[in-house]
Amino acid sequence: MTSPADHDDAPRRWPRGVYAAGSEPDPRFTFANERTFLAWIRTALALLAAGIALEALEIPAQDTLRLLLVLVLALLGAISSVLAFFRWARAEKALRESRPLPSPALAPVLAFGLAVTAVVIVVALVAS
């Protein structure tokens, strides 16, 4: 149900493409979507912190493998944070338009990325 107030503040809210669509959903769904976004951001932050810690602690491993692992973790963190925002926007727009929620495109990226990270760790342990 759309009221005149639903679109009055749409130009001031960002991203406009999300807030100009449909009508205001139940706030509980919007807050749940925000909590999911923040969970993905915490995951991205943990990946970045793991990469930084791996480099800062200079764990004894072959330098090339350690650098590869640091890069994979940092890239996963960066990609996760960007995809988290786009996932939030797509889900929020779907909520506003009473459409089904989109599938989580971020999950396979993290699953594949962490699998690559695990392989690099095993190779680093075997090589040292």
Provide the domain count of the chain: 1
On the 0-12 / 13-18 / 19+ scale of CB atoms within 10 A, 128 is exposed
Q: pLDDT tens digits for 35-69?
A: 999 999 999 999 999 999 988 886 666 778 788 88
Stated pTM of the model: 0.79
CA distance linking residue 116 with residue 113, whole number of Å: 5
For residue 110, give both structure tokens.
């993290």
Mean pLDDT of the residues in the chain: 86
**Domain annotation covers residue 115:** yes
pLDDT, residue 82, reads 95
- Share of residues in the chain with pLDDT > 90 (%): 50
Residue 55's contacts (CB-CB under 8 Å, 6 or more residues apart) are 66, 67, 70
pLDDT, residue 9, reads 61
**Domain annotation covers residue 18:** no
